[in-house]
Amino acid sequence: MTAKPGKVTQREIARIAGVSQTTVSMVLNDRDGSNIRIPDATRERVRRAIEQSTYVADPAARRLAGLDNKILGVFTYESALTPESMDFYGPLLNGIERAAESLGCDLLFFTSSPVEEGRRRLFHRNTRLRLADGCVLLGQQMDGEDLERLVAEDFPFVAVGRRDETEAPVPYVGIDYGALTETLLGRAAELGHERVLYIHRNRNSPTARDRLAAIERAGHSPAVTLAVVGDDLAGLPRLIGETGATAVFAEDAFLVEDAALVLGDAGADAVSLAALAEVRGHRIGGRNLTGFHTPRQQIAAEALALLQQLISTAPDERGGIEIQRLLQGEVAFGETLTARGGAR
């Protein structure tokens, strides 16, 4: 069943070249140092034997013997390749693929992880995690225990997005949503908005908290009313009436789109709109949505670079590495945030 008839091993090569299997290994790995000196003739003989054959090193054996695998794990807390998730994961995966290509690594997607409570579990009975040299974690929310355990086991990993759900410091590469939020609020104030309504889903993620913290820091210019909303936004027009808000900010572009529909129906489409998240490709009634542009390709590249750094550094020497990195995005001034009372 797992017979490998076509499989050539180093022993076979050694037999053909008339050397020991050790020598074959040496040649293959270019071990040519102080103690080891293989004459070009021998080296050439081995090389030829390998070329004649279809020899390929068994990656499982290499791994077991302690070598790096050049395999990077990719763990997503939800399915990553569905049409819906592509909006979020697409640019990240693209960046990861490119980075992996240039690092010469393969990518192992842990699609087998059993789903519990709507999320995949990283650790389970037969996890292939250890087959990877390290792992990238993706997802809006992550499991604190998973993170703790990865840290405890000194397994090299990097989370995409800021993380703060653990005691131990978790390596991550994320976006500075706090700074972006502040900038956008400042802009709203400049445009004359004194009262803003912020609608969100009360998610318990670090980035969600970053937005709220930035809003708090802004104090009263503008004054922001927070509102937790569910799937039904019917109460939105009333909320706007009660608060006197002239602008509605939402957690993400999809929520803005939903809000725009409700407001349009209620004839309240003069309010300004913005998302405190990536807005690329999102338009509201023909206008470019105001929000952020986040460098997701760059995040992916940076995450893999950090991961490589961790992999190639012994656990006790990782102290010098800056493991928490926040990248700056930029505010995308679309056409949905306009001067208060200004023309639509």
Q: Could you list the residues that contact DNA (CB under 7 A)?
A: 4, 7, 9-11, 19-23, 25-26, 28-29, 31, 35-39, 42, 55, 57-58, 61-62, 64-67
Is residue 250 classed as helix, strand or coil in its secondary structure? Answer: strand
How far, in Å, CA of 61 to CA of 48, rounded? Answer: 23
* Between 49 and 188, CB nearer to DNA: 49
298 binds, among a copy of itself, DNA, none (CB under 5 to 8 A by kind): none
Subset of residues 109 to 148 that bind a copy of itself, contact rule: CB under 8 A: 109-112, 123, 125-131
Choice from 35, 40, 41, 66 touching a copy of itself (CB under 8 A): 66
Characterize 269-302 residue by residue with b for buried, 16 or more Cβ atoms within 10 angstroms of its Cβ, and e for exposed: eebbbbbbbbbeebebeeebbbbbebbbeebbbb
Q: How far is the CB of 69 from DNA (least distance, A)?
A: 11
Is residue 106 a contact residue for a copy of itself (CB under 8 A)? yes
Q: Which is nearer to a copy of itself, 154 or 330 (CB)?
A: 154
Question: What, of a copy of itself, DNA, none, does residue 39 touch, CB below 5 to 8 Å by kind?
Answer: DNA
Helix (H, G, I), strand (E, B) or coil at 310: helix
Residue 20 interacts, among a copy of itself, DNA, none and using kind-specific CB cut-offs from 5 to 8 Å, with DNA
In this structure, what token pair is assigned to residue 266? Answer: 């209620």
Among 14, 26, 49, 108, binds a copy of itself (CB under 8 A): 108
Q: Between 199 and 253, name the residue whose CB sits nearer to a copy of itself.
A: 253
| 131 token code pair | 């087959």
Residue type, 82: T
DSSP 8-class letter at 169: P
Contacts of a copy of itself in 82-101 (CB under 8 A): 82-83, 86, 90-91, 93-94, 96-98, 100-101
Question: Does residue 57 touch a copy of itself according to CB under 8 A?
Answer: yes
- In angstroms, give the least distance from the CB of 129 to a copy of itself: 7
Q: Closest CB to a copy of itself among 25 and 225?
A: 25
Query: Pick from 71, 274, 303, 306: which binds a copy of itself (CB under 8 A)?
Result: 71
Q: Which two tokens stand for residue 223?
A: 């004054």
The Cα–Cα gap between 68 and 47 comes to: 23
How many Å apart are CA 344 and CA 326, to the nearest integer?
35
Residue whose CB is less far from a copy of itself, 145 or 265? 145
User: In 10 A of CB 228, how many CB atoms?
Assistant: 10
Longest dimension (CA), the chain: 88
Residue-wise over 32-67: b if at least 16 C-beta within 10 A, else e?
Answer: eeeeeebeeeebebbeebbeeeebeeeeeebbeeee
Partner whose footprint covers residue 35, from a copy of itself, DNA, none (CB < 5 to 8 Å by kind): DNA
Cα(123)–Cα(268) distance, rounded to whole angstroms?
49
Residue type, 86: M
Say if CB 300 and CB 94 are below 8 A apart: yes
Question: CB-wise, 21 or 297, nearer to DNA?
Answer: 21
Shorter beta-carbon distance to DNA: residue 38 or 261: 38
* Contacts to a copy of itself by CB under 8 A: 1-7, 54, 56-61, 63-64, 66-71, 79-83, 86, 90-91, 93-94, 96-98, 100-101, 103-112, 123, 125-131, 149, 152-155, 312-315
